[in-house]
Amino acid sequence: MLNVEDWAEIRRLHRAEGVPIKEIARRLGVARNTVRAALNSDRPPKYERAPRGQVADAYEPQMRALLQEWPRMPAPVIAERIGWPYSLPPLRKRLAVIRPEYVGIDPVDRVAYEPGEVTQCDLWFPETRVQVGSGQQRVLPVLVMTLGFSRFMTAVMIPSRQAGDILSGMWSLIHGIGRVTKTLVWDREAAIGGTGKVTAPAAAFAGTLATRIKLAPPRDPEFKGLVERNNQYLETSFLPGRQFASPADFNQQLDDWLVRANSRTVRSIQGRPVDLLETDRLAMIPLPPVTPPIGLNHRIRLGRDYYVRVDTVDYSVDPQVIGRFVDITASLDTVTVYCDGRVVAHHPRSWARQGVITDPAHAATAAKMREALALDRQRRQAAIRQHADGHAVVLRALPDYDALFGVDFNPPSTKAK
């Protein structure tokens, strides 16, 4: 076969220098027909090997029959069904070609985000356990938020997946940026929109900020691919080799790392998130003057056991309000209990499980109340057992009264013998 260099030389000699075909053939040592073919061809010669048959050709009809009914059948199962006698790579290669004909192709569009338009939110669960006190270690969720235009990433560890804690984390991150985007994208997280509809707490949060929460379609992680990729980035670049003494230590190390992460150049935007943040921020919605409804909130009647429960942990309350309704508010850091607008308990929040947090002042008040009750009972008993003039009242047994009035509650049997 004529190579490209000879083909180019033949065309140069004949067309540029006017060398005859016979002389070109003599100089290059090729046949005159080869010279004529090179002059008639407008494209350089290209070697093409004749296609050869492959081992999968004979099995393709069986493969197609299986894919017709079960388009997603795995390659090892197909190999077993058709009696495939070779290694799996040739079979996988052929399946990669023909399977899209049966399962369809799902193309992905490129999305361009405008400044201030969207923030993608998600929960990341790092495998490294964190010390939470009481000798416990837990895997805790981390709320991750990524701005669509600038790719600026923020994150914070939170104590649970409950709506109040997630919203508290969102407010903490949004307040740190100083503004909020027009849309907050979430997946079907149970506390945000597990039924396909935004929950009441999440809707109240979004309404206060004048933004909206948009739920991703079910089983479609690509809908919020920015934050999903950042979750993976956290997994591979932040987490390895780190140990955490507490959730506060985790958040401090994470904040320090995020400064560097947001200063790197992101290939998709050809810029650094920290440099584009201000452009993103100027197009966002200003924050309202009031704090949106966040945290865990509920109301109960305080029982004799003067404790309230927040996320499996019991916190003591002033026992003087036993029997009255109290309002419990738990942020990421504190637990506060109110009764008629008055604070009756305030504790640092524990992220441990099944703990009991007691304020020594509450325990002392309860002890004084029990002591006063015992003294009152003794006083009442003394008042009952003494006559008004002070002499002791004799306490008779009940049978004495039966004999006095001639009452017999166990009469002899009158059954005839």
User: Cα separation of 68 and 61, whole Å?
Assistant: 10
User: Cα separation of 83 and 70, whole Å?
Assistant: 17
- What's the pLDDT score for residue 386? 58
224-231 contacts at long range (C-beta below 8 A, 24 or more positions apart): 224/120, 224/121, 224/122, 224/185, 224/186, 224/187, 226/120, 226/146, 226/148, 226/151, 227/120, 227/121, 227/122, 227/144, 227/145, 227/146, 228/122, 230/144, 230/146, 230/153, 231/122, 231/124, 231/144
Q: Is pLDDT at 47 greater than 80 in this prediction? A: no
Percent of the chain with pLDDT over 90: 66
Number of H helices, E strands in the chain: 15, 16
Instruction: Give the tokens for residue 276.
Output: 């584009």
- What's the pLDDT score for residue 77? 95
Task: List, for residues 22-42, the tens digit of each pLDDT value.
Answer: 988 898 888 999 889 888 888
Q: Are strands 313-316 and 356-357 parallel, antiparallel or unpaired?
A: parallel
| Contact by Cβ (8 Å): 43, 4 | no
Q: Which carries the bigger pLDDT value, residue 210 or residue 112? A: 210
Instruction: Give the tokens for residue 288.
Output: 């309202």
Q: Is pLDDT at 344 greater than 90 in this prediction? A: yes
User: Cα separation of 160 and 266, whole Å?
Assistant: 31
Task: List, for residues 293-318, the tens digit of each pLDDT value.
Answer: 999 999 999 999 999 999 999 999 99
- What's the pLDDT score for residue 333? 93
User: Cα separation of 210 and 28, whole Å?
Assistant: 81
Whole-model pTM above 0.75?
no
User: Cα separation of 125 and 220, whole Å?
Assistant: 19
Task: List, for residues 235-248, the tens digit of each pLDDT value.
Answer: 999 999 999 999 99
DSSP state at residue 349 = P
- Mean pLDDT, residues 166-187 taken together: 96
Instruction: Give the tokens for residue 210.
Output: 């004048």
- What's the pLDDT score for residue 220? 78
Q: Are strands 153-157 and 334-339 parallel, antiparallel or unpaired?
A: unpaired
3-class state of residue 302 by DSSP: coil
- pLDDT category, 413, cuts 50, 70, 90? low
Q: Is pLDDT at 100 greater than 80 in this prediction? A: yes
Task: List, for residues 373-405, the tens digit of each pLDDT value.
Answer: 888 888 777 655 556 666 666 666 677 777 777
Q: Is pLDDT at 358 greater than 60 in this prediction? A: yes
- What's the pLDDT score for residue 383? 57
**Phi then psi dihedrals of residue 43, to 5 deg:** -120, 150
Task: List, for residues 109-134, the tens digit of each pLDDT value.
Answer: 677 889 999 999 999 999 999 998 87
- Mean pLDDT, residues 210-234 taken together: 90
- Mean pLDDT, residues 200-209 taken together: 95
- What's the pLDDT score for residue 417? 43
Q: Is pLDDT at 192 greater than 60 in this prediction? A: yes
| Contact by Cβ (8 Å): 139, 157 | no
Percent of the chain with pLDDT over 70: 93
